[in-house]
Structure 1
Amino acid sequence: MMTDIFSSFDPYMFNSLFPTNSLFLMFNTMFILMIQSSFWLMNSRPVSLKSPIKTTMFTQLSRTTSSSLKGLSSYLSSIFILIIAVNLMGLIPYTFSTSSHLIFTLTLGLPIWLSLILSSFTHSPKKSIAHFLPDGAPDWLNPFLVLIETTSVLVRPLTLSFRLAANMSAGHIVLSLMGIYCASAWFTNINATIMLILTSLGYILFEVAICLIQAYIFCLLLSLYSDDHAH
């Protein structure tokens, strides 16, 4: 039973129905097994469904410096598919929305951001430090520009993680509100109920698009962060 609109973001609310979030783990395990490559000559349907998504992300990554960093393109493409799957599974009723929590988004964004920083400083410390100071700036403004650029680089994983979690949380809250109002109007006004149901269906389609777009933006920003890597 949902006590309020924020109950869907509490993992302990689902223990009575699905102990230890077994439903989410089951769907996640089944999805991972389904998208694995087949031993047959022809690709299976899940693999054929995954190929256009993977190609889209690889095309975007080829426009950035991440294409020259070994393994990063494959890693970001895998994260892209994972976030899409997790976001869509969060739309299932009575399912724990993992992508709405910072513990999930930070786990994905923070290690990649930190690995890019460490890799850049390991490869060329001088060029990495030079990124913190724009060219052509006056000498008296250099300390402030370095401070501002350093702050902007340090807050990147937080803004990246907050963006995904906030957008997913807002969508689930709106769907919860529509469901509450629709259930309340069921016994009072049938016309309002029909309008709310149609509005909810339209918003669900909009939320599916948001799930895809937010996954793309998350991986796109990570790929753009690789442009600051020392060449």
Structure 2
Amino acid sequence: MMPDIFSSFDPYMYNTLFPTNSLFIIMNMTMVLLVQTGYWMINTRQSTFIVPLKSTIFTQLSRTFSYQLKGATSIISSTFIILIMVNLMGMIPYTFSTSSHLIFTLALGLPMWLSFILSSSSYSPKKTVAHLLPDGAPDWLNPFLVIIETTSIVVRPLTLSFRLAANMSASHIVLSLVGTYCASAWFTSTFGTSMLILTNLGYVLFEFAICLIQAYIFCLLLSLYSDDHAH
């Protein structure tokens, strides 16, 4: 059976190049070694790559209330590094794209969102409930505003996870289409093949940028959700 453009999302399709389970285990071990290398490694190649990324996400976290929550900055910054690594691992040809699946993105977004809700509720239940009603709203509109605000808060982990999975899936599908056209045009005119190859290389570079941007947006929204924490 010939693979289609959605084959990269099938975990059982590309076991010939590298077993998916082994690749996932090695990837997780790499995350453990790279995320907090600054604790025992100084001036290494890994820290040269990790430190600028950490500085970028810490700058954003310092602007939100998550900076005042114990452990939130470490968790979100580690999630940022892990998402970048997972997105880049999905760029390897004939490998399983983990971040394109909702179960992976939901496993990251739902616990983080729920932890903010539980932390806020345990700190001050009254202030947490008070966030459901905007200030200065008319009395007759209050029941509808509470329902709308509650719905918007409940769907946050779904929209957060869907956004990452959908964007990464769309990017990989377009990359597969461009690669298919390049393979089919390999034996055609030299000029057309050269243009397709240059287009493919340009889109691959664009994909690397997408991997970084989507990881940043995911953690940016998580940090913004912490602003609703009772304080």
TM-score with structure 2 length normalisation? 0.94
Residues 151-194 of structure 1: CA deviation (Å, up to 9, x unaligned): 00000000000111111111110110011111111123332211
CA RMSD after TM alignment: 1.6
**Paired residues for 1:88-99 under 5 Å:** 88-99=88-99
Offset of 1:31 from its aligned partner?
Answer: 4.6
Amino acid across the alignment from 1:51: V
Q: Quote the residue 1:116 is aligned against.
A: 116
Whole-Å Cα distance in 2 between the matches of residues 105 and 147 of structure 1?
26
Q: Quote the residue 1:105 is aligned against.
A: 105
Counting aligned pairs with the same residue, the percent is 73
Offset of 1:79 from its aligned partner?
Answer: 0.3
Task: Assess, with a 3 A threshold, how the Cα gap between structure 1 residues 153 and 2 changes in structure 2: closer, same or farther.
Answer: farther
Q: Quote the residue 2:70 is aligned against.
A: 70
Stretches of structure 2 lacking an aligned partner (at least 5 in a row): none
Greater Cα offset, 28-37 or 201-210:
28-37
**Paired residues for 1:92-171 under 5 Å:** 92-171=92-171
Task: Assess, with a 3 A threshold, how the Cα gap between structure 1 residues 225 and 119 changes in structure 2: closer, same or farther.
Answer: same
SS at match of 1:13: coil
Assess if the C-alpha contact under 8 Å between 2:66 and 2:223 holds in 1: yes
Stretches of structure 1 lacking an aligned partner (at least 5 in a row): none
Q: Quote the residue 1:177 is aligned against.
A: 177
Offset of 1:48 from its aligned partner?
Answer: 2.5
Offset of 1:19 from its aligned partner?
Answer: 2.7
TM-score with structure 1 length normalisation? 0.94
Amino acid across the alignment from 2:192: A
Offset of 1:210 from its aligned partner?
Answer: 0.8
